[in-house]
Amino acid sequence: MNNIKSLPLVIGLGELLWDCFEDERRPGGAPANVAFQANQLGCLGTVVTRVGQDDLGTELLEFLKEQGLSVDHVQIDASFPTGTVTVKYSDANDPQYTIHEHVAWDHLEFNEDLAALMPQSQAVCFGTLAQREAGSREAIHQCLSATNENCLVVYDVNLRQHYYERSWIERSLTAAKMVKLNQDEAGKLGEVLGLSADGLEQFANHVQGEYGLEAVCITRGAEGCLIYAGDQEFNIPGSPVEVADAVGAGDAFTAALISRRLLGWGWEQAALFANRIGGLVASQPGAMPVLKQEFEQISQEIQNS
């Protein structure tokens, strides 16, 4: 059994919330999903976020604790409620989100606790949404500045509704070593950054060169993913699955890619694994299904293939 202190520390930095469907609610929030899945993938997943001093916040903390995640770095806000998102479907592959404002994770604060935690991390995943308020945006970038030089900082773009601006995106790209986004977001990002990129390869090469990134990963749903790392390019085909709902599948992909890169896997093998993990999560309801044994089985299959 691994000593918990020897496990790589993977921090999900940003929103933790309830995804509210028509008939139920489930824990979610992209960085929290990444930390949750990293924990199932053999890392020490930790969420850095803020919840309200309310029943919804208490329930989220209890859920994380039940799944073996530390809640030591989840701040409690006495003024703002725990975050919620309304999720609706016209298509299982394309969930529509209404992200409610004036919530606790919009008010994350950088403090002594986070100043001590961040240098210990082997990887940090953050996104755009939790930067929609100036205070939380500054806190996130203070956290990133406090990481050590070997930390794998991953910007999982996650453009939602109107909650993004060019300056936030450029600052985030500059702070990251790897960027992950989906095909639609690549198109939007090209427009926001004023790129006249002809196709995904030119887009990825420009973003890598302009912002000093080690890798750009573009997911394409059932079609798999593209990885551009330096002068290497990998086109990894998807694995067909019956989608239950796509909420959290991209975050599971990100967590899988991070976890295997930290273990020293090459890009191609890590991306094959990440595709399989993202597909498996898409075949299950909710963003945080408990699948630790299934993940381990897939890991063994890929290592042995």
DSSP codes of every residue in 8-72: PEEEEES--EEEE-SS-EEEE-HHHHHHHHHHHTTSEEEEEEEEESSHHHHHHHHHHHHTT-B-T
> Does some domain include residue 81?
yes
> Does some domain include residue 118?
yes
**What average pLDDT does the chain have?**
92
Domain holding 272, by residue range, is: 7-298
DSSP state of 130: G
> Does some domain include residue 2?
no
Q: How many domains does the chain have?
A: 1
> Does some domain include residue 1?
no
> Does some domain include residue 303?
no
Among the listed ranges 1-10, 64-73, 239-248, which one has the minimum average pLDDT value?
A: 1-10
Distance CA 111, CA 25 (A): 31
pLDDT in tens, 145-167: 999 999 999 999 989 889 999 99
Model confidence pTM above 0.85: yes
pLDDT in tens, 193-212: 998 767 899 999 999 999 99
pLDDT in tens, 91-132: 666 778 899 999 999 999 999 999 999 999 999 999 999 999
> Does some domain include residue 277?
yes
Q: Confidence band (pLDDT; 50, 70, 90) for 5? A: low
CATH number for 15: 3.40.1190.20
pLDDT at residue 2, rounded to an integer? 45
Q: Confidence band (pLDDT; 50, 70, 90) for 4? A: low
